[in-house]
Structure 1
C-alpha cells in the first residue's frame, strides 16, 4: 500500500461489519466525505473486521448498499483488515524487538491447561496533548491506561494496533470520528510514536442524541439507515439532515444539495455539544426535497392507478384527472413516500374515485339540529354552482360561493359542502375538491346529500 508523500488530505471511514450501518455511522462517513471533498482530498473505505466471530459478509453488503444509496463515494477499493494480518505481524515483531511490546502471561486465564498470554504495549506513562479540530486542546495522562493489550497473538492483532498501522500505511492525514473515540486517541498516539508514524490531526464530532438527551438507540425509533430508506426517505434529504446534526453553516439556510454541502462544509462550524435527533425535522426536510423531485407526481399517479382499491372506478384510468389529484392534493400531504400507501389504505382519497358514503347527522355544521336549514343551504349551494358557466377552478368557485358563505356563516355553508363532496371529517377545502371532480359530479353529490337529509 502506497503511503501519502504529497500531503494530500486523506480521511477514512472505518466501519466494523458487525451490524447494520446506523445513523451515527452514516453521519461520520458524511462528515469525512464533505471535509475531504471540500478540500480536494480523498476518502477511503476500510473495514475493521478483525473480530472474526462477529464480522459478517451480510453486514459488509448492508454498509456498501447504504453508502451507495446515500451517494457517498470513496476513492479506491475498500480495504479489509482481515486481509492484512501479515502486515500487522511485522509491526508487532518489530515492536517486540524494540522492547515496546511484550508477551504477558494472564493471571487466571488458561487454555488447555496453560496460562494464556497476550501482547501488551509497554506504556511510558506520560501526558499526551493534542489539538482536537473540534474540541481544542485535549490532555490525557496515559498512566491511567496501564500496559494495554494490542494483540491476542501475533496472528490476532487488536483494534488499536491495526488502526494505527493502517492509518500510517494509508497516509491518513485527518481522523474524524465520534466523541466516544476520544479515550482511544492517547493509546493510538503512543503506538504511532513507537512505530515512528506521523500523528494525524484528530477531530471528535458530537454524538447523536435522542430527544431526552440519552444515546440514540432502537427504543427511540429507527436507527439503521436501511429503515429510513425502506420507509421512503430520499437519500438527499437524509444527507441534508445528517449534515445539520452537529454542523451549523452559520446562516439560516436549511436546505442543501450534496454539492452545496461540499462547498460550505468546514470543521470550524462543527459544534461540541451532542446533536439531538428530531424525526419531525427530518420529515420536514424530506418533504422539501420531495417537492424538488420532478418524478414525484408521476410516481403518485402510477401508484394511484395501480391501486386495487380503485380498480372498479371509471375515473382511475383518466390520467389527466389522476394527475390533478396527485399535484393538487396528494403531493402536499406527503412527507415521506410511504405516506402515500397510508393515505390510500386509510381512504383519504376515496372520494375522488368512489361515491362518498354520507352520515346525515354529519352533514350539518357542528351537529346542527335544524336539518331543514341545512337542506335549504345545500339547495342554494347547488343552485349557485349550477348557474356557473365556463371556468370551474378553485378560485372561481371561491369567488362565487364566498359571498353566500359570509352571509350564512362560513361553517354553515362550507362544512356541509365539503362533507357532501367527500364524506370525510377531514379533507382538502371544498373548492379544491369540487374543481377536480367537476361540476356535474358536484351537483350529483349535492343531490345525494339533500336526499339523505
Structure 2
C-alpha cells in the first residue's frame, strides 16, 4: 500500500445508540481522510450476535448522515472490499485462521466452560494471574469449527508509536492466547478487525482508549500473519463534567440524534465533538466543517480525557445559529414553531425569526420566545410583582405610564424608527428611566420574561395588537 493513500475507517458494533464517544471516533477518522483526499470506510462489526440490537445498523447510518459524516465505502453503498458487514465475511476469517493453523500459530481449544473455570480458580488459589497460555493443551484436536480457535501467542516486549499517546511499550506478560473464532463460527473483534483492516488496506486505525490494553496481543497477531502495522491513534476518554469519571448515560451521553431533536444544529455537534480533546493551538472555538477539515491534525489531540460540558455545547449552538443566513435557519425551524404559528404567513414568521435569532440557544427555544407574536399570551402579573424596579410602582403610577404609552402609540406610525422616537419622547414626558418604562411596556405586550428590542417587537406585533394588549393591561390595573 502506498504511503500516499489514506484510508480510515469507523467500525462500530450495532448494539445501541450512537453517543458522542462513538461519533468522535468516526469524526476524527473522517477528518483525517477528507483532509488527505483519501477514503473513509464504514464497517459494521456485528460478530457479537447476542449483543446486537435490532435497528442499530440503520440508526448508525442515520446518525452519521445527519451530521454529514459521509462514507465512501460501506454496507449501504458497497465498495471494492465488500461486504462491509462482518457477519457476511465469515469465509474470509476462516481462510485467514487457516493460515495461522498451518503455520502452527492457532489451535483448537478443547476445554469446556467448567474446565476453564476450574483452571481460573486454580490460578486464583495460587495467587497468580490467569494466562491461558500457561495451560495450553499439549495435543489439541484438529479444529473443526465446533470449538473455539485460539491464537498461539509468542510473548515478547513490544515498542510502538501512537499518534496521540506517543511512544508506548509493554512486556511479554500481557500477551496471551486469545480466542480468534468462537464456537458459534463468528470471529472475535480481536481477530476480525485485523483481518478486515488488512484486506481493506486501512492506513490509520483510530479508536477509543479501551482498546489500548489489547494492543500487544494485536501486534503479536500482526507479526504471526506477516502484516504491515498501520498507523495507530488512540482517543482519550470523554469525561463527565466532574472530570473524575468516564461520561455515562446519566451524565449526558445520550443518542446524538436526540441532540438534533432537541434543537442542536449538526454543525454545532460536529464542532463541539471535534473540540472534545482537540484544538488547533489558537483561541478559536467556533469552526465550520470546512475549517475543521483544513485544520485538524492527530498531533493536536490531547492525551488526557476531555470533559463534556453541556453549557459550552449550548453556547456553541447559539453561536452557530447566529451564523446561519435567515432563509437557511427558517428551513431548519419548521418543526419548532409554537402551535399558534400554524396558519401564520411565511413573511411574518421570517420577521419574527429575524428578531429572535440572536437569542436562540437551541431551536427548541423558538416556541418559548415567539408564542406571543401569534396569539395573545395569558397575563402574568408576577413578572411585574417580582421585578425589583416595577414592583415599586403604585397602581396610579402603573396606570399613568400605561395610559401615556397607549396614547402615544395611538398617534404614532408603527415603523421601528417611528416607535423608537415615540419611546424616546415618552421618557421625557413621563420622566421615567428606560429600565422602568420600557420594561413595563415590554412586559404587558409580551408577558414573557424577555423579548427582542422593544421597537422591533412592537412593530412586528403591529399597532392594533400592541394597543389591544396595552388596553387590556390598563383595564386590569
TM range (shorter): 0.7 to 0.9
Deviation at 1:302, TM superposition (A): 6.2
User: After alignment, is 280-289 or 354-363 more displaced?
Assistant: 354-363
Mapping 1:163-182, distance limit 5 Å: 163-182=193-212
Q: Does 1:106 align with 2:100?
A: no
Q: Match of 1:10?
A: 7
Deviation at 1:102, TM superposition (A): 2.0
Q: Does 1:92 align with 2:117?
A: no
Stretches of structure 1 that go unaligned for 5 or more consecutive residues are: none
- TM-score normalised by structure 1 residue count: 0.86
Q: Does 1:378 align with 2:406?
A: no
Q: Does 1:279 align with 2:310?
A: yes
Distance 2:441 2:53 in 1: 60
Deviation at 1:402, TM superposition (A): 3.7
Match of 1:243 among 261, 264, 274: 274
Q: Match of 1:357?
A: 379
Structure 2 CA distance for partners of 1:180 and 1:261, relative to 1, 3 Å: same
Distance 1:71 1:127 in 2: 42
Stretches of structure 2 that go unaligned for 5 or more consecutive residues are: 76-83, 117-140
1:392-448 per-residue CA deviation (whole Å, 9 max, x = no partner) reads: 43543443334456x334444233322332334544454333232234443443333
Distance 1:147 1:310 in 2: 65
Q: Match of 1:121?
A: 151
Structure 2 CA distance for partners of 1:371 and 1:50, relative to 1, 3 Å: same
Q: How many residues matched?
A: 436
Partner-residue secondary structure (3-state), 1:212: coil
Structure 2 CA distance for partners of 1:154 and 1:272, relative to 1, 3 Å: same
Structure 2 CA distance for partners of 1:352 and 1:137, relative to 1, 3 Å: same
Structure 2 CA distance for partners of 1:232 and 1:303, relative to 1, 3 Å: closer
Q: Match of 1:262?
A: 293
Match of 2:252 among 213, 221, 224: 221
Asked whether the 8 Å contact 2:106–2:150 carries over to 1, the reply is yes
Deviation at 1:222, TM superposition (A): 4.7
1:148-202 per-residue CA deviation (whole Å, 9 max, x = no partner) reads: 2222249332111111111111111211111111112111110000010001111
Distance 1:179 1:63 in 2: 21
User: After alignment, is 250-259 or 134-143 more displaced?
Assistant: 250-259
User: More strand by proportion, 1 or 2?
Assistant: 1
Match of 1:137 among 142, 157, 167: 167
Asked whether the 8 Å contact 1:105–1:117 carries over to 2, the reply is yes
Q: Match of 1:76?
A: 73
Asked whether the 8 Å contact 1:397–1:431 carries over to 2, the reply is no
Q: Does 1:42 align with 2:66?
A: no
1:59-112 per-residue CA deviation (whole Å, 9 max, x = no partner) reads: 11111111111111222333111122122112222212222122233265379x
Asked whether the 8 Å contact 2:341–2:374 carries over to 1, the reply is no
Distance 2:401 2:308 in 1: 50
Partner-residue secondary structure (3-state), 2:148: strand
Asked whether the 8 Å contact 1:361–1:367 carries over to 2, the reply is no
Distance 2:276 2:383 in 1: 50
Structure 2 CA distance for partners of 1:297 and 1:416, relative to 1, 3 Å: same
Deviation at 1:307, TM superposition (A): 5.3
Q: Does 1:298 align with 2:298?
A: no
Q: Match of 1:396?
A: 421
Structure 2 CA distance for partners of 1:272 and 1:11, relative to 1, 3 Å: same
Match of 1:190 among 213, 220, 231: 220
Structure 2 CA distance for partners of 1:142 and 1:150, relative to 1, 3 Å: farther
Q: Match of 2:350?
A: 323
Partner-residue secondary structure (3-state), 1:349: helix
Distance 1:37 1:208 in 2: 24
User: After alignment, is 431-440 or 281-290 more displaced?
Assistant: 431-440
RMSD: 3.1
Partner-residue secondary structure (3-state), 1:47: coil
Q: Match of 1:289?
A: 320
